[in-house]
């Protein structure tokens, strides 16, 4: 007897064939509580996200006597807050934050070289959210070392793996 896994779109509820399965990882949203979450979607649904684009400015505010705050707003809204300031020139002259890299470099985005291939079956990366399928070697490592994997994930601010969760059971074969 064989068992067949069917993936269903979290958005439309339709069955997704293997060659049309895409994953969306939501890293920041007002309703998000804690770690990033993952949605299974069709490639067509994922394409809708890719064609929607706004120029988004993200920043941290470090004000005296207050805890650090993260703020995101459209670039046009930022410019409208300070209409007399040339924010482009201001940003060009601003001092860089020590130990940080430009967003495109962090994402492996435009203009950069290809990233080195990550071995998700290794102790340094197993269980981390990533594009593509979980290989049997990654799943085996996670099953055999779940406690250590969860300690590393939590220390890195990533979601931990709950073997009782249906998606995690399916993903790692618990």
Same domain? For 107 and 123 the reply is: no
Question: Which of the pair, 114 or 11, is modelled with greater confidence?
Answer: 11
Q: Structural domain tally of the chain?
A: 3
Same domain? For 58 and 110 the reply is: yes
Same domain? For 130 and 143 the reply is: yes
Q: Burial, 149: exposed, middle or buried (Cβ in 10 Å; 0-12, 13-18, 19+)?
A: buried
| pLDDT tens-digit readout, 118-154 | 888 888 889 888 877 888 889 999 999 999 998 988 8
Question: Which of the pair, 104 or 87, is modelled with greater confidence?
Answer: 87
Same domain? For 59 and 48 the reply is: no
Q: According to the model, what pLDDT value does residue 12 have?
A: 93
CB 42, CB 55: distance < 8 Å: no
| Composition of the chain by helix, strand, coil, percent to 5 | 35, 15, 50
CB 78, CB 59: distance < 8 Å: no
**Residues spanned by the domain of 139:** 116-174
Same domain? For 102 and 133 the reply is: no
Same domain? For 108 and 120 the reply is: no
CB 49, CB 26: distance < 8 Å: no
Same domain? For 94 and 130 the reply is: no
Tell me what the pLDDT averaged over the chain comes to.
83
Structure tokens at 141: 């490592």
Same domain? For 136 and 169 the reply is: yes
Same domain? For 33 and 77 the reply is: no
Same domain? For 110 and 133 the reply is: no
* Per-residue burial over 65-86, b = 16 or more CB atoms within 10 Å of its CB, e = otherwise: eeeeeeeeeeeeebeeeeeeee
Question: Which of the pair, 100 or 5, is modelled with greater confidence?
Answer: 5
Bridge partners for 58 per DSSP = 72
CB 104, CB 136: distance < 8 Å: no
């Amino acid at each position: 007897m064989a068992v067949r896994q069917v993936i269903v779109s979290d958005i439309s509820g339709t069955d997704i064939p293997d060659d049309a399965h895409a994953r969306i990882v939501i890293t920041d949203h007002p309703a998000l509580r804690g770690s990033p979450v993952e949605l299974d979607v069709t490639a067509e649904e994922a394409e809708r996200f890719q064609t929607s684009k706004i120029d988004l400015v993200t920043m941290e505010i470090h004000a005296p006597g207050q805890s650090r705050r993260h703020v995101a707003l459209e670039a046009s809204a930022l410019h409208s807050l300070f209409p007399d300031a040339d924010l482009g020139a201001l940003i060009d002259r601003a001092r860089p934050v020590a130990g940080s890299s430009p967003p495109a470099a962090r994402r492996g985005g435009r203009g950069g070289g290809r990233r080195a291939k990550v071995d998700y079956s290794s102790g340094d990366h197993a269980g981390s959210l990533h594009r593509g399928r979980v290989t049997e070697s990654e799943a085996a490592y996670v099953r055999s070392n779940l406690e250590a994997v969860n300690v590393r994930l939590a220390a890195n601010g990533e979601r931990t793996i709950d073997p009782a969760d249906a998606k995690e059971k399916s993903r790692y074969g618990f």
